[in-house]
Amino acid sequence: MPLNQSSSGSSVLIALLPVLTAVLAGFIIIGVALPVLPLHVENDLGFGTFIVGLVAGAQFAASLISRVWSGSYSDRRGAKKGVVAGLIAAAVAGLLYLLSVWFLWAPALSAAILMAGRAVLGGAESFIITGGVAWGLALVDKAHAGKVIAWVGTAMFAAMALGGPVGSMLFARFGFTAIALITMLLPLLVLIYLSQMPAVAPHPHASQATFGSVIKAVWLPGLGAALASTGYCTILAFSSLYYSAMHWQPVWMAFTAFGIALIVARTFVGHLPDRFGGARIALIFVLVQAAGLLLMWIARTPLTASAGAAFAGFGYSLVYPGLGIEAISGSTPQNRGMVMGIYTAFLDVAMAVGSPALGWVGGHLGLDSIFLAGGLAVLSTAIVAGVLLRRSIMKQVHVS
């Protein structure tokens, strides 16, 4: 039975606990591999940066390809089953990691098995995050949709932030075998916990919602989310490189400031999109995000740059869930999984296209110009949010 509109934030959080646990586990195992995978491929297997890119990119490519499938599966078979399928696939990915370690004596074979494991993990991530959001939306009233998207996203960011240092520590002491074991075992532990949790009823006729009809409803908020996510991509991919070039320490400060500000914002003001409307809040907060990136562009000290990153994180915190509310506003419970799968795919596209595009800008105009380009891309999200807000107001006037 979904929580009603009057339920408190703490009640919503308690209801979402099984979902958040699954997302935390799914993204911790992604996070533990991110900083050590290049070291393993280069130092243990002896390959260069091209193979590093192929192995790392296999996950993101598989995530993008499997988004729609994972959403449709969650709609038809049940959101909890979608999450369970993702956790099982994640454990299989860990098994493939472990198998790749056994073939270190044959580097090409080991790299191929590792790449297969990364692809399986990419599909697992799609099922966990898409099924998790759909499960969360089914557990609470539609009035709390923004909280669901915000809390699931917070769990994702927190898990990746935790996974990085944990993975580095394990790799330094025990090698890639430890990464393989945690990737295999952690999802299995969460599966034991989830086996005690009630499922929500599936929608066997969800396939009646065609891909075309869903993409027609989602493309505009998805475009806005992709443009806003370019700002996240700017900090994730280039802030440490920029800090290093400027001789600022520590080089991870911008990403940490971004992540802390995002989590704080979603903790204390995560209810605003539900209360005042997703498009309205996205329009306000995207201006804060853009201002933060432009502050990083003009910064001449690490303190100013880190403050800009914090503003960017605070702003981005409610842009993504705010536009997410607009994406599901016209959907039915029968197709929310597919809606969120397609909506999330826009983030994948932003990461896949934004990183090389911003890198090209930095290579031609200087590293600081990356933050100007990112800020302008984010600022264009305001146009999308404005169109969505106007559409929402016109709809309300028409109804009244």
201 SS3 class: coil
Neighbour tally for 378: CB within 10 Å: 30
The most confident of the ranges 48-52, 145-149, 179-183, 324-328 is: 179-183
CATH of domain 1-202: 1.20.1250.20
The pLDDT assigned to 1 comes to: 46
Confidence check: pLDDT of 204 > 70:
no
Q: Which residue has the higher pLDDT, 244 or 181?
A: 181
- Which range among 24-33, 269-278, 285-294 has the greatest average pLDDT? 285-294
Task: Find the mean pLDDT for residues 195-223.
Answer: 72
The owner of tokens 């909890």 is 80
Q: Residue 242 — pLDDT band, cuts 50, 70, 90?
A: confident
Could you give the percent of the chain with pLDDT greater than 90?
31
| 3 state SS of 376 | helix
Task: Enter the tokens of residue 119.
Answer: 């692809």
- Mean pLDDT, the chain, rounded, equals 83
pLDDT-derived band at 212, boundaries 50, 70, 90: confident
How confident is residue 3, by pLDDT bands cut at 50, 70 and 90?
A: low
The model's pLDDT over 18-27, given as tens digits with 9 standing for 90+, comes to: 888 888 888 8
Q: Flag whether pLDDT at 356 surpasses 80.
A: no
Residues 6 or more apart whose CB falls under 8 angstroms from that of 116 comprise: 58, 96
Does position 86 have pLDDT exceeding 70, yes or no? yes
Please tell me the class of the 209-400 domain. mainly alpha
Equal CATH topology for 1-202 and 209-400: yes
- The whole-angstrom separation of Cα 53 and Cα 74 is 31
Q: Which of 254, 29, 313, 35 is nearest to 156 (CA)?
A: 29
Best-predicted range by mean pLDDT (57-61, 122-126, 151-155, 336-340): 122-126
In order, the DSSP letters of 153-185 are HHHHHHHHHHHHHHHHHHHHHH-HHHHHHHHHH
CA distances from 357 to 290, 373, 380 (A): 18, 10, 16
| Amino acid making up residue 125 | E
Mean pLDDT of the region 344-350:
79
Under 8 Å CB-to-CB from 171, ≥6 apart: which residues?
36, 39, 40, 178, 179
Domain residue spans of the chain: 1-202, 209-400
Q: Give pLDDT, residue 334.
A: 66
